[in-house]
Chains A and B, each alone.
Chain A
């Protein structure tokens, strides 16, 4: 399952600030209070990070943005080609 936004159930408090700010409306509040939001429309994600920037629990890893796999890039670590 393609999933651009991943929540950590342990640290997300279900405050829904991210649902409030999400520009593309891909998130939906979980019907169960206190649980992480549902990623309803994953393929409409803009990867703009508005949700991440608004998350009060981001330092605790409550929310993570995962760029699309086909756009994965390569870096050379500490070695010269």
Chain B
């Protein structure tokens, strides 16, 4: 045992902070391109900007070698529609996303992702990521192409989702960025974007930040800036000891990029969209429970008596063989695949699933709980591809699931994984059972909304670009983060080459510096960051949960502001680490305000956005079928209306391909 508490008990004293603390010591970094967030999107942005010959700096909260939602690895890559085996075009894939979301997704971003997703994956292969079955471990399997040795997921006919061996994808990106001379600053907590004249809505010229080991202050002066951060995972639920084991949202996921962008005047859209937050707290470790979702797609499910649950296609026709689960049904165009930021799917693109009457049959007692995932009923190559190749490479499944289960003696050839025991309606869709319907309905997760960008992935602010799956409107998952990062990095570099020198506003820098360190000067009796975070989450759950009205939303805003100006303003941090966490609480409040303000602007309920206004209960009134981007100007919210197909309207060209060719810069 070697806990901090053991040390205190053994030695009778608290160990000193192990790094020299220099609160306020100024460090100035001058660069052409600043990338905020060193996850897969940020590293790709940095690499691709550096390849254009400009000077690049990355500001990373943790350590860029493993950080971010994709830091621990990946097992499949969506949207690689231009791979030589694919039967889907970028136009078809983009249209499938757009139509499924009834317009509530950034289709131009989806198009960029599908045009370049495969090329981005080839880039990764050059960096040393295994994307093909080069050792012929799965020779002859129906998900493998014998010529290219590529292996596919979800749709073995149309072949646009690729299974990969991505456990080392992040270290490889990190090494490539270092090789290209990118300056990576780890342990950096950004506090604000710097803008021309220190004003909201002007050109972005860098950022201020605090080092969470030394407490030193950083000014990054950059000609162009890319925000490539994660979402605000701690916004509606903060439960220490279980929060951080979610798949996509770790403790560092505080929506910092969105917060500083919003405060600088960047435009965001669809922030009112949310869904049941199934990935943290009340769930199980991702992919640890029996299920058929995502990595486990196609897995047979049996009940407590060993009776197998039937599979059906989207039209309700029973699927008799395992092979059929991986093929589009008659009448379907192709299967899109899940986990790509699409809410409801149109039937033409939805995955095969367990029989839709499973809920009713559980209620009637026909299937007895608990259910189990029985991998042994899969064909051998499929079983080995799922529990082995995929579970051994994907995000947080390599250690907590593959390693732990294997060491405990789990044998996929004969053992079974139990599914969580839930109310029957929890089995309505096999999507993330393990994350749990047992989560209270007030716990919401943001999803789909983000920075509104143009065909260059630039925001409304000059010099500010956006990337990453959960930060950009139209993003998605792992591959999407790489590809948007790669594209945004190129464009930021092009802009930096012609941009004037950035001149930081002295008053803005001083104000940020003053603000950043207040918590270190306060009385030790001030609240700590955990108390503040818990209060933020409580306000968001109670006043901006699944059901809202004008009054609850305004109360939520008032309470967030009171928290910010009283308890948070007098909170105490005893070291730079705690200071970083408190600064994250400031970011969480900004994101909370952004969500509530976006929710106030949409005076109508909407099923695609899973948005429920009790004072406007009519679902989907046609006059509200539009986007409502918001931004701040002089700290007041400005809203405008935007048609869904804005990316194909003047001044843009009328087709995806024309716009792409005009803007891709290749």
Contacts and interface: CB of A to CB of B under 8 A. Distances in A.
Interface in A13-67: 20-25, 28-31, 35-50, 52-54, 65, 67
Given A9-B2, A48-B66, A73-B289, A25 B187 contact: yes
- Say what secondary structure dominates the interface of chain A: loop
Contacts, number: 157
A81 B15 contact: no
Nearest to A65: B399
Contacts of A77: 409-410, 415
Given A28-B15, A31-B15, A70-B242, A23 B285 contact: no
Interface string B381-408: 0000000000000011011100111001
Contacts of B4: 28, 38-41
B252 A38 contact: no
Contacts of A43: 240-241, 243-244
A68 B281 CA distance: 11
B642 interface: no
A25 B250 CA distance: 12
Contacts of A42: 3, 241
A49 B398 CA distance: 8
Interface size class of A (residues with CB under 8 A): 35 or more
Contacts of A39: 2-4
A29 B17 CA distance: 10
A46 B212 contact: no
B2 A38 contact: yes
A3 B1 contact: yes
A76 B252 CA distance: 35
Contacts of B395: 48
B302 interface: yes
B415 A76 contact: yes
Given A50-B72, A78-B411, A67 B404 contact: yes
B378 interface: no
Contact of B372 (A36, A45, A71, A76): A76
A75 B416 contact: yes
A22 B245 contact: no
A79 to B, nearest CB: 9
B426 interface: no
B250 to A, nearest CB: 4
8 contacts: A7-B2, A21-B65, A25-B212, A25-B577, A28-B18, A47-B400, A48-B66, A48-B250
Given A23-B61, A30-B2, A76-B372, 14 more contacts: A3-B1, A23-B62, A23-B252, A40-B4, A42-B3, A43-B241, A45-B245, A47-B396, A48-B395, A73-B285, A73-B418, A75-B417, A81-B306, A81-B372
